[in-house]
Chains A and B, each alone.
Chain A
Amino acid sequence: MTTSLTVPLAARTAPAQLDFDALYRSACEDVFSYVATMLRDRGAAEDVTALAFERALRRRGSYRADRGSERAWLFGIARNAALDELRRRKRTTALAGEPRDERPAPDDEAELALRRADLRTALASLAPRDRELIALRFHAGLSARELAAVLGVSESHAGTQLHRAMQRLRKACDATP
């Protein structure tokens, strides 16, 4: 009896090519959202986003498809750039670029606008680590697997941390007058 084994050699030997332009186009907005939430400064977030993509382009040879998705790799770099900026500034500023919607809202939307304002306040009051988890998951749109890859933890640990962060956010919202 003869058996055959097919090994995808090409997939193992040839590293996946990184389409950097496509990655930039698809992830630029998400990176900015994540960095802006972290820094709470739109101007600095713009600079850090540009810096993150520049670093990513410089290190694009280090990307390995078997270690995670392109987005996870990119957000790992963006996270380091954001943390470097946080270290450099040693202080945080209020998120200036997300002005409240001052337009008069219909009655059915007034409740929603109020909830959004409360949420913004609650989000700002969270610990940076919780805020980062929420920013990566909901503002950057990372999947649970990508979130774990960026943070360098297991998927279950990332899920647990995210769940705790959401619980704390809910409490913060409830506590907001």
Chain B
Amino acid sequence: MRRPDQLPDEVQRDLAAIDAALAGEPADGELAELALLVRDQRPRLDPGARARLDERADARFAARRVRAPRRRALLPALGAAATILVVSVGVYGGLGARDAGEPVAPGGEAATRTAPSAERARESADEAASAPSSATAAPVAPSAGLPSRSVQRAAELLLATTPGRLDEVAGAVMRTTEALGGYVAGSAVHSRGGRGGSASFQLRVPSARLETALARLSRLARVRSRNTSSLDVTGAVVSARDRVSALEAERRGVLRQLAAAGTPEETEAARARLRAVDVRLARAKAHREELRRRVAYSTIDVELVTERRAGAGSGTNDHWTPGDGLRVAVRVLEIAAGAMLVALALLLPAALLAALGFGAWRVVRSRRREAALDGAA
């Protein structure tokens, strides 16, 4: 950069003379004299214009004076913070939805994904569970004026445990079922001697104790998913019952015909008819009993898998420990860090683009302003 003392001597001399003349000091030179003339030519504010300006200044400045001058500087920071917060919540929410099957705490209740209809049925089932249990059926407590409902209920449970505890948990599943008055309808255990494996069980437990059974089974290992469903079979039960009653009435009629038979042909015909009715009656009763069993006993399909991750298979002896708290805290920090990273990945390019755009806009604006000077007459 050229300094003032690097100006040509003539220019320096003229500028010094101008400065001296403006300062009221004696100065020689045509430019100094011209400078004084130019200064005297300056447009001046007349009193009216000055008063108008003062008035406008008072009116326009008054409102702005009360504002904090730094407030605008905080806006970008507040905007960035709000954006990060929104992105964090969104990302955390997304991860939370993906991990819906994760336990809130080791051994605790897992988030349950239940279809709306199944959820409604589960509420009905809860009401049924509070009613006195029946050995043969588990009808929902009847409402006034309505017949009692027969509901067939089922559940699916996916449990995860460590490879070394597969056999232990499998045994506990069966013991728990029997302790609740249920039975194991089917099972398959594939164990690789402490190196993993899997097991599956088809359990039948009294419907009145379904919730208890699910709670106890859930404590045996880490719950990865739990689904419940229900089906109202009241119509089928009533229909089966009515059919049995009708067939019994028909059988009584046939017996009366048999008693009244006077000839061997009539007797044989009545007996043949009685056999046919007995067959149909036996089928109807079997169907009715099958329905009663379905209602009285709920099905639980248990899938048991092994995994090596922390928290799996903690089982019945699990308690909320400082280690668990630490793991949850680390997980939360991981999610928060991930959210911040995503937010940065989104914001950084946007901020760069905005900065580039702002810079370009300022350059263009500055050039246009300068061009206004060139274009002015």
State the A residues within 8 Å of B (CB).
20, 24, 28-29, 32-33, 36-37, 42, 45-46, 49-50, 53-54, 57-58, 60-61, 80, 83-84, 86-87, 90-92, 95, 97-98, 115-116, 119-120, 123, 128-129, 132, 134, 138-139, 141, 144, 154-157, 159-160, 162-163, 166-167, 169-170, 173
Within 8 A of A (CB), among B1-53: 1-4, 6-7, 11, 14-15, 18-19, 22, 30-31, 34-35, 37-46, 49-50, 52-53
Known interface pairs A134-B38, A173-B34; A84-B369 also in contact (CB < 8 Å) = yes
Tell me, in angstroms, the Cα distance from A144 to B60 when the chains sit together.
32
Cross-chain contact of A163 among B3, B15, B30, B72 (Cβ < 8 A): B15
16 contacts between A and B (CB under 8 A): A24-B57, A28-B57, A37-B43, A50-B60, A53-B60, A57-B64, A86-B373, A87-B369, A87-B371, A95-B43, A97-B43, A128-B373, A128-B376, A132-B373, A155-B4, A166-B18
Within 8 A of A (CB), among B162-215: none
Known interface pairs A24-B57, A115-B37, A169-B34; A90-B6 also in contact (CB < 8 Å) = no
Given A91-B377, A128-B373, A157-B2, 12 other A-B residues pairs in contact with their CB atoms under 8 A: A32-B45, A53-B60, A54-B64, A57-B65, A83-B370, A116-B41, A123-B38, A128-B374, A141-B39, A156-B6, A159-B4, A166-B14
Tell me, in angstroms, the Cα distance from A98 to B44 when the chains sit together.
8
Chain B at the A interface: SS class: helix
Contact across chains for A156 and B37 when beta carbons are under 8 A apart: no
Cross-chain contact of A37 among B18, B31, B42 (Cβ < 8 A): B42
- Residues of A contacting B374 with CB < 8 Å? 128-129
Tell me, in angstroms, the Cα distance from A38 to B375 when the chains sit together.
13
- Residues of B contacting A54 with CB < 8 Å? 60-61, 64
Known interface pairs A128-B376, A169-B34; A60-B69 also in contact (CB < 8 Å) = yes
Tell me, in angstroms, the Cα distance from A120 to B38 when the chains sit together.
8
State the B residues within 8 Å of A (CB).
1-4, 6-7, 11, 14-15, 18-19, 22, 30-31, 34-35, 37-46, 49-50, 52-53, 56-57, 60-61, 64-65, 69-70, 72-73, 368-377
Tell me, in angstroms, the Cα distance from A170 to B30 when the chains sit together.
8
Contact across chains for A42 and B73 when beta carbons are under 8 A apart: no
Tell me, in angstroms, the Cα distance from A83 to B6 when the chains sit together.
31
Contact across chains for A61 and B4 when beta carbons are under 8 A apart: no
Contact across chains for A139 and B73 when beta carbons are under 8 A apart: no
Contact across chains for B53 and A49 when beta carbons are under 8 A apart: yes
- Residues of B contacting A166 with CB < 8 Å? 14, 18, 31, 34-35
Tell me, in angstroms, the Cα distance from A159 to B72 when the chains sit together.
37
- Residues of B contacting A24 with CB < 8 Å? 57
- Give chain B nearest CB distance to A32 CB in angstroms: 5
Tell me, in angstroms, the Cα distance from A156 to B12 when the chains sit together.
10
Contact across chains for B42 and A33 when beta carbons are under 8 A apart: yes
Contact across chains for A28 and B11 when beta carbons are under 8 A apart: no
Contact across chains for A33 and B44 when beta carbons are under 8 A apart: yes
Contact across chains for B3 and A156 when beta carbons are under 8 A apart: yes
Contact across chains for B53 and A154 when beta carbons are under 8 A apart: no
Cross-chain contact of A61 among B38, B57, B72 (Cβ < 8 A): B72
Known interface pairs A54-B60, A170-B31, A170-B34; A139-B4 also in contact (CB < 8 Å) = no
- Residues of B contacting A139 with CB < 8 Å? 38-39, 41-43
**Residue among B4, B30, B46, B72 with most chain A CB within 10 A:** B4
Tell me, in angstroms, the Cα distance from A163 to B178 when the chains sit together.
108
Tell me, in angstroms, the Cα distance from A160 to B31 when the chains sit together.
14
- Residues of B contacting A160 with CB < 8 Å? 7, 11
Contact across chains for A116 and B37 when beta carbons are under 8 A apart: yes
- Give chain A nearest CB distance to B7 CB in angstroms: 6
Tell me, in angstroms, the Cα distance from A50 to B42 when the chains sit together.
18
- Residues of A contacting B22 with CB < 8 Å? 138
